[in-house]
Amino acid sequence: MITLQSVSKVYPTRRGQNKVLEDVSFTVRKGEHLGILGQNGSGKSTLIRLIAGAERPTTGTVTRNMSVSWPLAFGGAFQGSLSGVDNFNFICRVYGVNPSEKLPFLYEFSELGSYLREPLKTYSSGMFARLAFAISISIEFDCFLIDEIVAVGDANFREKCFHELFVKRNDRAMIMVSHNDDYIRRHCTKFAVMTGGRLIPVESIDAAHKYFAQGPVFGRFTE
């Protein structure tokens, strides 16, 4: 179970304190798929980083009683001078996974072939995205975090991604944030709206859409 209790996040800026999240509370249990709909700038990505543990809340608590992924297909921690395989080996060791057991899956799923032995700085954006997604699902988690739609590669590769995530791992908990209501409608069982840094639970995606249609509401600056 993942529980957020009265979580707020404030960033200092030249204009004052930017309150991005305010008093956010919710619980996600095993197998639940929570979809959070919100405009750009509403605090969605900040919320995902807090759940992942990449940042700490200014106030409130984040409790994780199951393993949580980093944001799916995120490659911000990769080292460009290392090869795809080297990055894969490093991440596997961090999470206590035997790289040799997962390496065949990396080759088969990413479809990058010999490029996996080349430095990441030589990759195109599409190749990088394929590697990042493949590594993301090479390690099993109880809860997967998804920041916006996973649109990687061509149609066939995207179908493989969706099958791995939403068919093979459909029993895992998932927290998805997006501004695409159709995406959340198809893959989630619980719904909420992020607006002005606050999380508002709603009964359906149709109820969420009326909030979404009002337009973006950004964090507030205070002295």
Tally of CA atoms within 13 A in the half-sphere of 55 that contains its CB = 18
Chain mean pLDDT for the chain: 86
Q: Is 116 within a domain?
A: no
Lowest-confidence segment of 3-12, 67-76, 168-177, 206-215 by average pLDDT: 206-215
DSSP H or E run through 44:
helix 44-52
pLDDT band at residue 38 under the 50/70/90 scheme = confident
pLDDT band at residue 73 under the 50/70/90 scheme = low
Does the pLDDT of residue 75 top 70, yes or no?
no
Q: Is 103 within a domain?
A: no
Residue ranges making up the domain that contains 18: 1-67+172-223
Under 8 Å between Cβ of 152 and 112: no
What whole-number percentage of the chain has pLDDT above 90?
47
Q: b vs e for 53-77, b when ≥16 Cβ sit within 10 Å of the residue's Cβ?
A: eeeebbebebeeeeebbbbbbbbee
Rounded to 5 degrees, φ, ψ at 70 are -75, 165
pTM of the model: 0.83
Q: Is 144 within a domain?
A: no
- CA 76 to CA 101: how far, in whole Å? 24
- CA 60 to CA 55: how far, in whole Å? 13
Count: domains in the chain: 1
Q: Is 13 within a domain?
A: yes
Does the pLDDT of residue 34 top 80, yes or no?
yes
Q: Is 22 within a domain?
A: yes
Q: Is 25 within a domain?
A: yes
CATH code for the domain of 221: 3.40.50.300
In the chain, the amino acid numbered 72 is L
